[in-house]
Amino acid sequence: QHAVAAAAAAAAAAVAAAIAMRHALCWWKRPRLALLNPVVPTSAYSLSVAKMLRELCDAIDCRVAIHEVDVASSPFDSALIEHFDGFIIPGSVASAYDKATYPWTSHLEATIRRLHARGRPMLGICYGHQIISQALGGRVEHNSAGLQAARCEFDVTALGASLGLGDGTAALQYHHNDCVTRLPPCAANLGCSASCPAHASALFASPTTSRMAVSRGVPADPPIGITLQGHPEFSTPTGAAILLDILHGEEGGAERYGDSARDADGRTAAQAHKITRAVMGLLWPKAFAE
């Protein structure tokens, strides 16, 4: 009996080891994404954004490996660009145009231009949307409409619809005071509203490719980058808590935006999942491979 039990235990251990090995092999087949996070130690968002993004990817069965890199403490090593399958630049408390307060901005802009020149896939979220646009020749300014927070809707362009952002209107959770007032020449607008002229954009290799995509309503080739002013990662357990905490810290914020931020009916989360699935599928299709 002891021999049989020992053999059974050994077989179980071998199966467990095989499963663990298969998981490890699958993990390293996943697209490796560098999260270029300008970490601000006093910002709960900054310290939690990697967790939010992993929760978001898990929710849509998007299999990626996210490796966080603090680009505020030191510039990203350009020698590592080819080590990653793509790059995400998340939100931040920083303003893209305030280089005096945030001196690392210039280094991050230089990295963005190198990534674009090499055709490396990029996803920008909120601040990421703004700093990518600014680095490639667009303009970022304080939003004259003031703070946009919690659920906000925008009109999806024909190109945005063809790329899967939705038909007619779409919505995400938001929290921003700045906005992109002019997209760079290589970018095409995917969504707009009266209070924000560029809610999302598709990045192409050249202005000509961008113009052709807009005129046709469908790109000849997939975009090499997508940027979003909204925060799909706020539609996760960690993200929702962070957003509510931010709103509670602002005078009247919780009363004005709290119900919308809680998203009790899940409408905004459903759209966040749809948009994220479309964007990740465009940039890293292998993330959804069986």
Residue-wise pLDDT tens digits, 122-161: 999 999 999 999 999 999 999 998 888 999 999 999 999 9
Q: Is the pLDDT of residue 23 over 70?
A: no
pLDDT reported for residue 3: 57
Would you tell me how many other CB atoms lie within 10 Å of the CB of residue 82? 9
Give the torsion through C-alpha atoms of 132, 217, 168, 202, to 10 deg.
-10
Which residue blocks in the chain are alpha helix, DSSP H?
2-29, 44-59, 105-117, 127-135, 158-162, 207-216, 237-248, 253-262, 267-283
Looking at every residue in the chain, the average pLDDT score rounds to 90
Quick: pLDDT tens for 178-207.
Answer: 999 999 999 999 999 999 999 999 999 999
Share above pLDDT 70 across residues of the chain, in percent, rounded to a whole number: 90
Quick one: 66 exposed, middle or buried, by C-beta within 10 A (0-12, 13-18, 19+)?
A: middle
**pLDDT of res. 258:** 82
Per residue in 51-73, pLDDT tens?
A: 999 999 999 999 999 999 999 99
Six-digit token pair at 22?
Answer: 């298969």
Stated pTM of the model: 0.89
Instruction: Report which of 172, 200, 201, 196 is spatially closest to residue 185, judged by C-alpha positions.
Output: 201
